[in-house]
Amino acid sequence: MTVVAVLTLTGCTAHDDAPATPHRTSTAVTKHTDVSDSIAVLHRTFAASDALPDDSTAGDDTVVLNSQRRVGTVDGTTYWVAVGQEGGACLIASDGPDSAENWTVCGGNAADGSFVGRGSVVISMLDEHGHQTSLVSDGFTDTGSDALHQIAPNVWAS
């Protein structure tokens, strides 16, 4: 799996041994549109609650303006899923103003040779404690002793 880390990744490192291999295809991803076919939350109408905080690591050079959808808050971290400027999808996490745990990662775009297919890991991050957080497409499942579990729509963690 090809991993593209974007913007500030303080306290996190890219991890390309995700438990599931993303679907790969030779068909190019149409910029800004095809990712929503595999991540249904991106079809939802933008609401005020989907707005990113002012200190977000996701800029308009990273994600398509107002494409982000808030998917939940777990243990003080709020997560959003967005369409990436290079295609594919982005996972955005925020622990609050100026936190070292705020980050944005993007993957699954035609430029890096990958694709966001149904039931796949789009991008994964490992924090400094070895905890994995992954953006997954609709239909993803995982099994085994190291299986990820869903913490929010399209967000799974170890």
Looking at residue 36, its pLDDT comes to 77
Amino acid residing at 27: T
Q: Which residue has the higher pLDDT, 151 or 32?
A: 151
pLDDT tens-digit profile of 29-86? 333 346 878 899 999 999 999 999 887 888 888 899 999 999 999 988 999 999 998 8
Helix (H) or strand (E) holding 155: strand 155-157
Paired strand residues for 76: none
Looking at residue 111, its pLDDT comes to 64
pLDDT band at 155 (very low <50, low <70, confident <90, very high): very high
Tokens 């980050």 map to which residue? 103
What does the alpha-carbon distance between residue 74 and residue 28 come to, in Å, rounded to a whole number? 34
Are the CB atoms for 22 and 115 separated by under 8 Å? yes
- List the 121-127 sheet strands across, edge first: 12-14, 121-127, 132-136, 155-157, 149-152
Domain range list for the chain: 4-157
DSSP one-letter string for 12-73: EEE----SSPPP--SSPPPTTTGGGGT-GGGGSPP-GGGPPPTT-S--TTTB-TT--EEEEE
Looking at residue 126, its pLDDT comes to 85
Looking at residue 114, its pLDDT comes to 62
